[in-house]
Chain A
C-alpha cells in the first residue's frame, strides 16, 4: 500500500511539473511591465494632408516585390469599390498598405492610409504560440515565415485587422503584412518606401517619442485644423504609427472604442490562474481521493463491468 501511494504521488507530481514548467515560464514572460522601445522609430500620418494619390501604395508594391494589381495605382475608381456589404478595401496578401476615401458632408473627402501600426505590445506577437513575430529595437513588427504554423490566431488578435493570409498558396501559405520595410530600409536607418514616395509630406518618420511631441505641437499650433487627439498614442498600449485627423476619427473608420491597455492584458486574468491551478489541484484532488476512498483498496477491480458470473448470479 505504502509503495503504491508513493508511486502514485510521483506520477502526479510529474504530470504537474511537466505541465507546469512551460506555463510558469509563460507567465513570467507574459506579465512583464513592458513600456516600449526607447529607440523605437515611428510614423506620424497626417490625414489632413493626404490627397489620395496612392503613390505610397505603388512604392510599397515595388519595394516589397508584390504582384501588379488588377487596376493601376493611378486609377481612383478603387475608392468606390465595396466588399462584403459596404466594407472598404483592406490590406491583403498582395497589398500591405491601402488608401481609402471617406466622403464628407462638407469639405472635400478625407483619405486614410492603413498598414500595420507596429504596436508597442503587438497582439499578433503575444498571441502567436510559436513566436513567429518579433518587435525589433527599431520598432518594426516583423514575421518569420519559417516557424509559422498557419493557425491565424494573430489575425484574430490584431485589433486593426491587418495581417492577411496567403490563402492562395497550398504548400507555403504565410502571413503577409507591412513590415516597416525592415529588411531593406529601416534596419539601415532609412525611412520606409511609402514615406520616401509621398509627395504631400503626409508621413513623418522619426523616433516615436519625438513624433508624439510633434503631433501635439501640430494640434496646438493649428487647433482649428485638427481634432485634439493623437490616434495610436495610447491605443492598445501605443502604436509606432500614429494618426492626426481633421475630422472625428470614427468618421474615417477608426475604432475609437479601442482599449488603451495592451491586448495581452485581457488574457492575464486567465494566465495568472494557471500556476495556482497547477499548484493546488494535485494536492486538493489527491486529498479528495484519499477521503472518498478511505478504507477501500483501489486499483484492484479487474474490469469496468462486473464479470459474467456476477450478472448471472
Chain B
C-alpha cells in the first residue's frame, strides 16, 4: 500500500472518484478503488497476509475437526477444568479489552469531550469487534453452540449471573453494531439512516454504560460461584465484580492506545492527516484516564486483601505470583504511563499501554485458569485448543484490518460530490464551524 500511495494512489474516501467524477460502485469500494489485479498484488506484498494465510490453513481444519469430533478431541476434556482457553482468554480477556466502546461513547457523547471525537469511532469499533469475537470464542467452547439463543428464548435461568452476562453481551453487541453502523451508512451512502442513528446516540450510549457496568462486573461475579476453587488471593466475594469492572476501564483505554499505535505504524496511508495529527494528544488524554483507573484498581486490590485478611498468603509461592501480577500488570504500567504523561512522551505512554494490556491478560488468565483449582493440579491447555484460540485471534485481526481499510474509522468520509464541496468551502463564512457542516450535510441529502 505504501508504495501505491507514493505513486500517487488515493484510497477511496468519498462517494465519487476524483479522477473520473463517477460514483464508486460497491465492489470498487470494497477493493479500495483498485482494480482486482492491483488489489491482489498489494495484498501479496503484505507479510501479515502470509502469516495469517498459514495460520488459517492450519487453524480452520482444526476448527472443523473440533465441530466434527467434539470438545473432547481438542481439549484435555477435563471435568475439573470445565473452562479452558476459549473462555479463559476469549471471554474473560477479550471483554475487558473491549470496554473502549462504552468508555469513549460516554466520554464524547455524554461528557461532551469533543476533543476525543476523532478516536471515538476506533474505540467503538474496538468494542464491537472484541465482543463479537468473544462470542465466536464462546461458540467454540459451548458444547451445543447452536443452542446459544436458548437463554434468550427457550429457558430463563433468571437467578444466574451468567444469565445476566448472556443477555447483556447480546443486547450490548446490538447497541455497538448500531453505533458503528454510523460509519457504515456513510460508506454505503445512506444519509437518512445515519441521521437516525445520530438521534438515538445518547440513548444508545446510556444503554451501553448500564450494560457494560453490569456485565463487566458480572464476569467477575461468576467466580464467586467457585469460592473453594479460585485461590483466595484472586477471590473476593464482595469485591470481585468491582475489581473486574475497574480494571476493565484501564483495559479498554489501554487497548485503544495499543490498537491506535498499531494502526498508526502499519496503515498510516489509510489515516487522515487530521487523525494522525490529533492522535498524540488524545493518546495522552486516554492514558490520563487509564492511570486514574489503574491507581483506583491498585488501591482497591490492597483494600480487598486487607478486607479478607489474606496477608499471610502473600508469603507463599502463590503470593509471589500475585505480587508479580500486581507489580508487572499494575504498578509498572502506572509508573511508565505516569512518566510518559508528565514528560509528554507519547512513545513511553504507548509502551505503558501495552504493558497494561498484558497485565489484564495475565490477571484474567490467572483468575480463570492458573489459580483455578489451585489445590488440585495445574492444567496446560491442549495444543489443538491453543491453535484454535490463536486462529480465532488471527481472524479478529484480519476482520479488524478489513474494516479499518474501508469504513471511515480513522479517516473522514467526505460525503459531498466535488462541485458541492468546493461551493460549500467558498460560501461558508467560517470554515469548520458546526453550522456549515449541517448545512452542507442537508445539501447532500437533498442532492441524493
Asked whether, in the complex, the Cβ of A297 is within 8 Å of the Cβ of B157, the reply is no
Return the CB mask of A259-275 against B: 1 if under 8 Å, else 0. Answer: 10001101101110110
Whether A14 touches B203, Cβ cut-off 8 Å, given contacts A130-B156, A159-B228, A270-B224, is: yes
Interface centre among A152, A168, A282 (most CB of B within 10 A): A152
Write out the residue numbers on chain B whose beta carbons fall within 8 Å of the beta carbon of A310. 274, 431-432
Asked whether, in the complex, the Cβ of B71 is within 8 Å of the Cβ of A90, the reply is no
Asked whether, in the complex, the Cβ of B377 is within 8 Å of the Cβ of A15, the reply is no
Asked whether, in the complex, the Cβ of B210 is within 8 Å of the Cβ of A26, the reply is no
Write out the residue numbers on chain B whose beta carbons fall within 8 Å of the beta carbon of A169. 70, 72
Whether A12 touches B144, Cβ cut-off 8 Å, given contacts A84-B376, A170-B70, is: no
Write out the residue numbers on chain B whose beta carbons fall within 8 Å of the beta carbon of A153. 82, 160, 162, 222, 225
Which residue of the partner chain A has the closest CB to B213? A277
Asked whether, in the complex, the Cβ of B155 is within 8 Å of the Cβ of A147, the reply is yes
Whole-angstrom distance between the Cβ of B388 and the nearest chain A Cβ? 15
Asked whether, in the complex, the Cβ of A263 is within 8 Å of the Cβ of B210, the reply is no
CA distance A99 to B241 in the complex (A): 38
Q: Count the A-B residue pairs with Cβ separation under 8 angstroms: how many?
A: 304
Write out the residue numbers on chain B whose beta carbons fall within 8 Å of the beta carbon of A76. none
CA distance A19 to B273 in the complex (A): 41
Q: Within B179-214, which residues are at the interface with A (CB < 8 Å)?
A: 183, 186, 198-207, 209-211, 213-214
Whole-angstrom distance between the Cβ of A291 and the nearest chain B Cβ? 9
B29 within 8 A of A: no
Asked whether, in the complex, the Cβ of A148 is within 8 Å of the Cβ of B221, the reply is no
Whether A270 touches B161, Cβ cut-off 8 Å, given contacts A161-B79, A173-B70, is: yes
Return the CB mask of A134-158 against B: 1 if under 8 Å, else 0. Answer: 0000000000000111111101110
Return the CB mask of A291-313 against B: 1 if under 8 Å, else 0. Answer: 01100111111111111111101
Write out the residue numbers on chain A whose beta carbons fall within 8 Å of the beta carbon of B144. 148-150, 172-173
CA distance A22 to B160 in the complex (A): 11
Q: Which one, B67, B80, B166, B228, contacts A257 given CB within 8 A?
A: B228
Asked whether, in the complex, the Cβ of B200 is within 8 Å of the Cβ of A126, the reply is no
B447 within 8 A of A: no
Asked whether, in the complex, the Cβ of A285 is within 8 Å of the Cβ of B110, the reply is yes
CA distance A84 to B156 in the complex (A): 36
B275 within 8 A of A: yes
Asked whether, in the complex, the Cβ of B377 is within 8 Å of the Cβ of A277, the reply is no
Write out the residue numbers on chain A whose beta carbons fall within 8 Å of the beta carbon of B70. 167-171, 173
Interface of B is mostly: helix
CA distance A149 to B237 in the complex (A): 27
Whole-angstrom distance between the Cβ of A253 and the nearest chain B Cβ? 11
Write out the residue numbers on chain B whose beta carbons fall within 8 Å of the beta carbon of A126. 159-160
| One of B301-309, B311-319, B327-335, B433-441 at the interface | B433-441
Write out the residue numbers on chain B whose beta carbons fall within 8 Å of the beta carbon of A289. 109-112, 202
Asked whether, in the complex, the Cβ of B142 is within 8 Å of the Cβ of A150, the reply is yes
Write out the residue numbers on chain B whose beta carbons fall within 8 Å of the beta carbon of A30. 158-159
Asked whether, in the complex, the Cβ of A168 is within 8 Å of the Cβ of B77, the reply is yes
The 9 A-B pairs of least Cβ separation, nearest first, read: A150-B143, A11-B203, A15-B207, A170-B70, A167-B72, A167-B77, A152-B82, A305-B412, A30-B159
16 new A-B contacts at CB < 8 Å, known A19-B167, A305-B275: A8-B199, A15-B206, A87-B377, A130-B155, A130-B156, A130-B157, A152-B143, A157-B226, A159-B227, A159-B228, A170-B68, A266-B237, A274-B164, A292-B110, A301-B437, A309-B425
A-B contact pairs, 18 of them (CB 8 A): A11-B203, A19-B167, A22-B156, A26-B158, A87-B80, A91-B79, A149-B147, A155-B79, A263-B225, A266-B225, A267-B161, A271-B161, A292-B113, A301-B114, A309-B428, A309-B432, A310-B274, A311-B274
